């Protein structure tokens, strides 16, 4: 059956360009003008095998990008190429959505300190170094969006931040915002052995859960007093940054990203979720295969790490690569993350392949590093699949995504190329070697490092 040709109105291209400038903004001056100009170019990626993720793969595909958005995609017969567009020959290549890492520590983020096990007021926003080579290496792995997290040594270690891995030297250049301009992120929580230590930290799992319950009870009281004040500053309680963060969780405006491994710890998280009604993503869940039915019944999503070597913490001793397959069988929204530097972001696709080796379907494995992650972050309307109207975040590969022989050739964020294997500095990041791990290359008259 002959497909109808998708015509792209000029007005839609202009609207996409205007949207790109309005939302993303950009630095002022000449660099900002050049950035905006590149984003406004209409580009057509032609001839590749497209993996939209939200639909079946397309051979000899065509994808039109303008204004930082995907304007159209389909087969060569179905999509009209706009006049004057820059056409990029992608024959023999594979294009898929940019990878979404739901749990990362790129940029050396930090949250709470040792003064308390509960510090929801701490923000990784104030600690991430976006110039760090770890951010650039993530682009080399095809990662275009990352949930950057504080560590798991606290019951509540602080607020996470969703970063688009655009080029930029300031956190504001990469931080993802909602339509009202607010920063997007979640709240990092943890249980198990990581947060068990000497006072003031808890010494047992039971005390850990009790401290978390007490914190949310205080937040409920703070929320009640704020509502009772009715906007009157004289009646409102003194501002409390920690309580404000927990109230955002209680009101569903901030999702909990919860580090948890053992089956009993996973069930503890689900009990707390049931009691206080917050949204939660279960991270790591080494024992997910033991309590897969309970996870599915709760409706919680999971973000898995795929470990392929022995070692690590004792509570992860029963980790099984079949976690992805078992959760898939039960319809659980399942993402796979790197926990970079636990797994280097350059090997994120390999993690998905390990899940397939253990029984997860290839389609769901590809979804686990793209659209499933976007869903868990509440960003599926913007990223995670190749669809008209979504951000032009995508990866150009040399072959099929799950093949060990496949390499990331290019990474694009909002229609701008942020990694190119043909550039010497990018190839160094992708392959390693002297200087690949140095945030600054020093050079003087006396020495070169």
| pLDDT single digits (tens) 314-364 | 899 999 999 999 999 999 999 999 999 999 999 999 999 999 999 999 999
DSSP category for residue 288: G
pLDDT score, position 96: 98
pLDDT score, position 131: 96
Instruction: Check whether residue 356 and residue 282 sit in a common domain.
Output: yes
Residue 50 lies in a domain: yes
Instruction: Check whether residue 256 and residue 161 sit in a common domain.
Output: yes
Count of the separate structural domains present in the chain? 2
Residue 121 lies in a domain: yes
Residue 212 vs residues 84, 255, 302: alpha-carbon distances, Å: 59, 15, 21
More confident residue, 317 or 6: 317
Residue 132 lies in a domain: yes
pLDDT higher than 70, residue 153: yes
Instruction: Check whether residue 62 and residue 81 sit in a common domain.
Output: yes
Strands 161-164, 143-148: pairing is antiparallel
Instruction: Check whether residue 139 and residue 90 sit in a common domain.
Output: no
267-275: Cβ within 8 A, 24+ apart = 267/291, 267/294, 268/191, 268/205, 268/209, 269/189, 269/191, 270/294, 270/295, 270/298, 270/300, 271/209, 272/209, 272/212, 272/213, 272/216, 273/298, 273/300, 274/298, 275/213, 275/216
Instruction: Check whether residue 62 and residue 197 sit in a common domain.
Output: no
Residue 152 host element (H or E) = none
Q: Is residue 50 helix, strand or coil?
A: strand
Residue 259 lies in a domain: yes
Instruction: Check whether residue 202 and residue 221 sit in a common domain.
Output: yes
Instruction: Work out the average pLDDT over 258-280.
Output: 98
Q: Give the confidence band of 445 by pLDDT, cuts at 50, 70, 90.
A: low
| pLDDT single digits (tens) 214-255 | 999 999 999 999 999 999 999 999 999 999 999 999 999 999
Instruction: Check whether residue 87 and residue 35 sit in a common domain.
Output: yes
Structure pTM?
0.90
Q: CATH number of the domain at 18, please.
A: 2.30.40.10
Share of residues in the chain with pLDDT > 90 (%): 85
Instruction: Check whether residue 14 and residue 142 sit in a common domain.
Output: no
Distance CA 127, CA 386 (A): 32
Residue 37 lies in a domain: yes
Residue 293 lies in a domain: yes
Q: Give the confidence band of 442 by pLDDT, cuts at 50, 70, 90.
A: low
- Number of Cβ within a 10 Å radius of residue 270: 21
| pLDDT single digits (tens) 349-407 | 999 999 999 999 999 999 999 999 999 999 999 999 999 999 999 999 999 999 999 99
Range of the domain at 241: 99-385
Instruction: Check whether residue 248 and residue 328 sit in a common domain.
Output: yes
Instruction: Check whether residue 312 and residue 172 sit in a common domain.
Output: yes
Q: What DSSP string runs through 87-122? A: EEE-TT-EEEEPEEEEEE-TT------TT-SB-TT-
pLDDT higher than 70, residue 313: yes
Instruction: Check whether residue 142 and residue 81 sit in a common domain.
Output: no
pLDDT higher than 60, residue 27: no
Residue 444 lies in a domain: no
pLDDT score, position 307: 85
| pLDDT single digits (tens) 284-294 | 999 999 999 99
Residue 115 lies in a domain: yes
């Amino acid at each position: 059956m002959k497909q109808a040709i998708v015509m792209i109105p000029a007005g839609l291209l202009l609207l996409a360009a205007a949207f790109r400038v309005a939302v993303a903004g950009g630095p002022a001056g000449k660099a900002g003008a050049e950035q905006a100009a590149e984003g406004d170019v209409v580009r057509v990626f032609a001839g590749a095998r497209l993996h939209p993720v939200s639909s079946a793969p397309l051979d000899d595909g065509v994808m039109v990008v303008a204004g930082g958005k995907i304007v159209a995609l389909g087969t060569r017969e179905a999509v009209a190429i706009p006049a004057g567009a820059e056409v990029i020959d992608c024959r023999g290549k594979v294009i898929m959505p940019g990878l979404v890492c739901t749990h990362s520590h790129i940029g050396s983020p930090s949250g709470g300190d040792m003064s308390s096990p509960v510090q929801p007021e701490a923000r990784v926003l104030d600690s991430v170094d976006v110039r760090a080579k770890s951010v650039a290496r993530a682009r080399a792995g095809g990662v275009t969006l990352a949930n950057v997290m504080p560590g798991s040594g606290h019951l509540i270690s602080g607020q996470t931040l969703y970063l688009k891995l655009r080029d930029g030297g300031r956190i504001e250049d990469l931080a993802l915002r909602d339509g009202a301009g607010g920063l997007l992120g979640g709240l990092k929580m943890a249980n198990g052995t990581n947060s068990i230590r000497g006072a003031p930290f808890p010494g047992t799992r039971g005390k850990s859960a009790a401290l978390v319950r007490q914190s949310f009870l205080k937040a409920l009281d703070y929320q009640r007093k704020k509502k009772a004040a009715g906007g009157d500053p004289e009646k409102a309680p003194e501002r409390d940054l920690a309580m404000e963060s927990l109230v955002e969780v209680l009101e569903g405006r901030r999702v909990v990203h919860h580090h948890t491994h053992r089956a009993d710890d996973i069930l503890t998280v689900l009990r707390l979720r049931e009691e206080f009604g917050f949204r939660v993503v279960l991270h790591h869940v080494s024992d997910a295969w033991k309590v897969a039915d309970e996870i599915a019944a709760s409706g919680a999503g999971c973000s898995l790490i795929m470990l392929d070597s022995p070692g690590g913490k004792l509570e992860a001793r029963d980790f099984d690569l079949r976690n992805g397959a078992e959760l898939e069988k039960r319809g659980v929204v399942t993402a796979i993350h790197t926990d970079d530097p636990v797994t280097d972001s350059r090997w994120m696709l390999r993690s998905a392949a390990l899940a397939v080796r253990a029984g997860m379907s290839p389609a769901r494995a590809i979804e686990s590093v793209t659209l499933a992650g976007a869903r868990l972050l509440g960003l599926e309307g913007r990223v995670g699949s190749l669809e008209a109207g979504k951000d032009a975040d995508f990866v150009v590969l040399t072959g099929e995504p799950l093949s060990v022989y496949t390499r990331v050739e290019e990474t694009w964020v909002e229609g701008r190329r942020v990694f190119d294997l043909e550039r010497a500095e990018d190839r160094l990041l992708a392959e390693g070697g002297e200087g690949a791990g140095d945030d600054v290359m020093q050079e003087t008259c006396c020495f070169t490092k």
